[in-house]
Structure 1
Amino acid sequence: MISDKENKNISKFLSLVLRHQPELIGIELDENGWTDVDALIAKSGEHGVRYNIDALKHVVTTNNKQRFAFNDTFDRIRANQGHSVEVDLGYEAKIPPEVLYHGSAIKNADSILASGLEKRERHHVHLSADVATAANVGQRHGKPVIFEVTALQMHHDGMPFFLSNNGVWLTDAVPPKYLKKQ
């Protein structure tokens, strides 16, 4: 099929154009983040990133973070979460587990403990259900630090949580009182 390197390169490119900069290649995302697969493939090729539908399906199904999804007919595709462009992914509020986790770099720990977790340019703060995933995320930014988030208490205090299609828990912010450094 395609090499691991090609898979990774296509995945990174898809993250860029489906989550942050669709205008870079001239595609449009609808209000729910979907775009036409044929247009995506054609416009990607025009910008030097060439793949076909089979390679795209391979990237989507083998992505370890399940960042992308096809519709039922495989003619539309979107990123599951992590957008910095305005989209409504149609998530319904869910009751979170008692504790969720967030990974970051140790250099950010004091700031996070002081001001909490903020979504900044993203739509939501991303949380995971397990420490290993949070550690993996934190490693991308430097030496990792893991925070426990008392998610169920946040929910009881009126803060909504959503669960993305790929199992990432989402919320608008995590105030410091709900955080504990592991």
Structure 2
Amino acid sequence: MLHDNVQTKLSKFMSKILRHSPEQFGLSLDPVDGSCKIADLLEVLGVQTKWSEIKVGDIEEVVARCEKQRFEINGDRIRARYGHSHDKVSYTMAVPPLVLYHGTNVQAAPLILKQGLRPMKRQYVHLSEGLHFATLAGKRRGELIILAIDTKKASQAGVVFYYAGNEVLLADAVPAEFCRVYEGEKEVRHND
């Protein structure tokens, strides 16, 4: 079993490889789902002095214990669930719950409420079925603000939602009129 700090460092390094720069490490990802063979990832890790002793079980442990559920193993393949900065990964279209959540900060919230949610440097806007993942994502950026997304109205207006796994849904963008500040059980609509 890996120590927590080693697990965190390995998780971050795996994110760098699988989400941001696989080509830098000579790793080829499937263009459709962004996956690679676990054996190929292990080979890439093995040539790094710091990670030369890593085994398949260590990778599986990182996947299982990652609070943000950044990775997914399917058979002998692994992929980052979301956040890719390489070729756009395809996801299955989904019918979302009536409300999805997005964590942000007090500086970004006013702009989002005017211009909507955009992916910025990511491929998609990340949304959560529950408050847990929205809080995890938003609190690392400063003082937390949770936005609630009216998915029924957004879907009727043509916004398509995709399922990325583990309570995370994605969208290409979400117009401002479907975003509201979430305050506990009470949602407050933004008025300009």
TM-score normalised to structure 2 length: 0.87
Aligned residue in 2 for 1:130: 130
Give the root-mean-square deviation of aligned CA atoms: 1.5
* 1:29 is aligned to 2:29: yes
Secondary structure, in 3 states, of the residue corresponding to 2:165? coil
More strand by share: 2
* 1:64 is aligned to 2:63: no
Counterpart code for 1:18: L
Q: Is the 8 A contact 2:159 2:174 kept in 1?
A: no
Q: CA deviation at 1:108?
A: 0.8
* 1:20 is aligned to 2:20: yes
Aligned residue in 2 for 1:161: 161
Secondary structure, in 3 states, of the residue corresponding to 1:59? helix
Secondary structure, in 3 states, of the residue corresponding to 2:28? coil
1:1-182, aligned counterparts within 5 Å?
Answer: 1-31=1-31, 32-50=33-51, 51-72=54-75, 74=76, 76-89=77-90, 91-182=91-182
Deviations 1:76-123 (A, max 9, x none): 21111111111434x221111111111111111121112111012212
Taking the aligned partners of 1:161 and 1:177, their CA distance within structure 2 comes to 16
Q: Is the 8 A contact 2:15 2:80 kept in 1?
A: yes
Deviations 1:121-180 (A, max 9, x none): 212100111223312211110111111111121112221111112220111101111111
Counterpart code for 1:116: G
Taking the aligned partners of 2:170 and 2:84, their CA distance within structure 1 comes to 12
Q: CA deviation at 1:35?
A: 1.4
The share of aligned pairs that are identical, in percent, is 35
Taking the aligned partners of 2:18 and 2:173, their CA distance within structure 1 comes to 23
Counterpart code for 1:34: S
Please identify runs of 4+ aligned residues in structure 1 that moved more than 3 A: none
Taking the aligned partners of 2:101 and 2:173, their CA distance within structure 1 comes to 13
Counterpart code for 2:25: I
Q: Is the 8 A contact 1:25 1:47 kept in 2?
A: no
TM-score normalised to structure 1 length: 0.91
Taking the aligned partners of 1:23 and 1:99, their CA distance within structure 2 comes to 37
Counterpart code for 1:143: E
Task: Name stretches of at least 5 consecutive residues in structure 1 with no aligned partner.
Answer: none
Counterpart code for 2:74: N
